[in-house]
Amino acid sequence: MNKTIFKPCIIGLGYVGLPILLNLSKRYDAIGYDNNHNRIKKLCKGVDFFNEFKKKELIDKLVKYTNSLEAIKSYNLFIVTVPTPILKNKSPDLKHLKDVCSNLSKIIKKNDIIIFESTVYPGLTNDYCVPLLQKKNSWKEGLDFFVGYSPERVNPGDKNHDLSKINKILAYPHTYLKKDLIKLYSLISKKIIFSKNIKEAEAAKVIENIQRDVNIGLINEIYLVCKKLKLDFNNVIDLASTKWNFLKFHPGLVGGHCLPVDPYYFAHISKKNNFETKITLAGRSINDAMTKTVRNEIIYEIRKNNMRKKKILICGLSYKKDVADLRNSLSLKIYNDLKKKYKKIKGYDPLIDSSHEKKYDLINSKKEFLKFDIYILLTNHTVIEKNIKSLPKNKTIINLLGN
């Protein structure tokens, strides 16, 4: 393989695109593009907002960042990793994909390849993205330029399954540079699962997350029923786990950018095809309702134990254990709600960027951490677990979800 065949440009430098860029930059003349100017500025200075990557890696001289479309014109392989969120009415919000496709349609050259990595519903790449890519030119996908799909499987906070350690699907229905593309992806992931069918790969990705969301939803429901029946949830799960095929999921606050979103994409396309899903969204309603449940349980605990006058610290505010990302965090939502009710309450999350401290009224030192009476655990980062364990015995610790 002539490695220089490809000049890869990664579009969207979030937790999906950034590791791909860092990896490919070692081997190719690659560039990272993001339309968020602030993100680009920070990355150039070696600052990853979510603290997943080290400064040294980010400012390596081989790694290039830009927010200029002009600067990416000369590249020939575009890997698109922009977010695919939902609108307020829970239908797919395709604005980022639309912008990228419109922009790319103006700059792609003959024989360029575009690989989408964003999670979508089956059919979206070909039915939505390809027409947009063809709009500004009279080119035909599959003749003049080529589109593929390689679903991202990033699991933030999970070092055991980072990009280099996982199997990655690559769907590419063309022969043009197929082998070279497989080799490029083989350099960044452990094993490439090749498919000719983009729609099947799109479906595979979205159902992975639905399965997880539904299973966490079910365990949240069991947790809530156990509370109602005055059963010790952890004992029940420990007993059930002695069966050979019981699946040990944990109850929790399901936030982030995948599980709370992806089921709506699948339900959307099912509905459009006259099939009303019954289970796909069942996890959603329970998992979203956990915010209210947990908040009310905290209020109940505070009232029951007459803790109103005590100093209360809410620990862990990001959306997931060991992750520094506050976006779509249900823990943060609960904290903000409680803050309105109990002015004196404070928040604590040693992982998140210090720029948030003022906005959310967070403490920022180990010394301050010791000054509270009640510690309520929400997102239980490893470092929080450690700090909680080191507290004197006269402190009250409330771990409602028991994770």
Q: Of the candidates 56, 159, 243, 386, which one interacts with a copy of itself according to CB under 8 A?
A: 243
- SS3 category, 377: strand
Smallest separation (angstroms) from a copy of itself to the CB of 149:
11
Residue located via tokens 């982030």? 256
Q: Of the candidates 86, 182, 204, 299, which one interacts with a copy of itself according to CB under 8 A?
A: 204
CA angle at 41 for the pair 39 and 43, rounded to the nearest 5°: 65
Q: Of the candidates 22, 63, 124, 199, which one interacts with a copy of itself according to CB under 8 A?
A: 199
Q: Look up residue 184 and give its two tokens.
A: 């490029």
Question: Toward a copy of itself, which CB reaches closer, 207 or 299?
Answer: 207
Q: Of the candidates 59, 87, 143, 239, which one interacts with a copy of itself according to CB under 8 A?
A: 239
| Residue among 110, 70, 117, 112 nearest 96 (CA) | 117
Q: Yes or no: say if 232 and 206 are a contact pair by the CB < 8 Å rule.
A: no
Q: Of the candidates 1, 59, 143, 247, which one interacts with a copy of itself according to CB under 8 A?
A: 247
Site string for a copy of itself, 275-314 (x = CB under 8 A): x-xxxx-xx-xx----------------------------
Strand order in the sheet with 8-11: 65-66, 31-33, 8-11, 77-80, 113-116, 146-149, 167-171, 191-195
Q: Yes or no: say if 195 and 170 are a contact pair by the CB < 8 Å rule.
A: yes
Smallest separation (angstroms) from a copy of itself to the CB of 189:
11
Residue 200 binding a copy of itself, by CB under 8 A: yes
Residue located via tokens 């933030």? 156
Residue 211 binding a copy of itself, by CB under 8 A: yes
CA angle at 50 for the pair 95 and 380, rounded to the nearest 5°: 110
Q: Look up residue 136 and give its two tokens.
A: 């500004």
Smallest separation (angstroms) from a copy of itself to the CB of 85:
22
Which uninterrupted H or E stretch holds 157? none
Q: Look up residue 206 and give its two tokens.
A: 């979205």
Q: How many of the other CB atoms lie within 10 Å of CB of 337?
A: 16
Report the alpha-carbon distance of residue 331 to residue 314 in Å, rounded. 9
Counting Cβ atoms within 10 Å, is residue 151 exposed (0-12), middle (13-18) or buried (19+)?
A: buried
DSSP codes, 365-376:
SHHHHTT-SEEE
Q: Yes or no: say if 34 and 12 are a contact pair by the CB < 8 Å rule.
A: yes
Question: Toward a copy of itself, which CB reaches closer, 155 or 364?
Answer: 155
Q: Of the candidates 62, 225, 383, 397, which one interacts with a copy of itself according to CB under 8 A?
A: 225
Question: Toward a copy of itself, which CB reaches closer, 104 or 201?
Answer: 201
Smallest separation (angstroms) from a copy of itself to the CB of 220:
8
Report the alpha-carbon distance of residue 317 to residue 157 in Å, rounded. 14
Question: Toward a copy of itself, which CB reaches closer, 59 or 240?
Answer: 240
Stretch near a copy of itself under the rule CB under 8 A, chosen from 198-206, 301-309, 338-346, 357-365: 198-206
44 is catalytic: no
Report the alpha-carbon distance of residue 391 to residue 230 in Å, rounded. 29
Q: How many of the other CB atoms lie within 10 Å of CB of 225?
A: 12
Q: Dmax over Cα atoms in the chain, in whole Å?
A: 73
Q: Of the candidates 46, 83, 85, 123, which one interacts with a copy of itself according to CB under 8 A?
A: 123
Residue located via tokens 């979508």? 120
Question: Toward a copy of itself, which CB reaches closer, 139 or 249?
Answer: 249
Residue 174 binding a copy of itself, by CB under 8 A: no
Smallest separation (angstroms) from a copy of itself to the CB of 198:
11
Stretch near a copy of itself under the rule CB under 8 A, chosen from 50-58, 95-103, 229-237, 384-392: 229-237
Q: Which residue of the set 101, 129, 258, 315 is catalytic?
A: 258
Residue 370 binding a copy of itself, by CB under 8 A: no
Residue 159 binding a copy of itself, by CB under 8 A: no
Q: Of the candidates 2, 88, 244, 389, which one interacts with a copy of itself according to CB under 8 A?
A: 244
Smallest separation (angstroms) from a copy of itself to the CB of 188:
16
Q: Could you give the residue numbers annotated as active site? A: 258
- Contact residues: a copy of itself, CB under 8 A: 122-123, 153, 161, 166-167, 169, 191, 193, 195, 197, 199-201, 203-205, 207-208, 210-212, 214-215, 217-218, 221-222, 224-226, 228-229, 231-232, 235-237, 239-240, 242-247, 266, 269-270, 273-275, 277-280, 282-283, 285-286
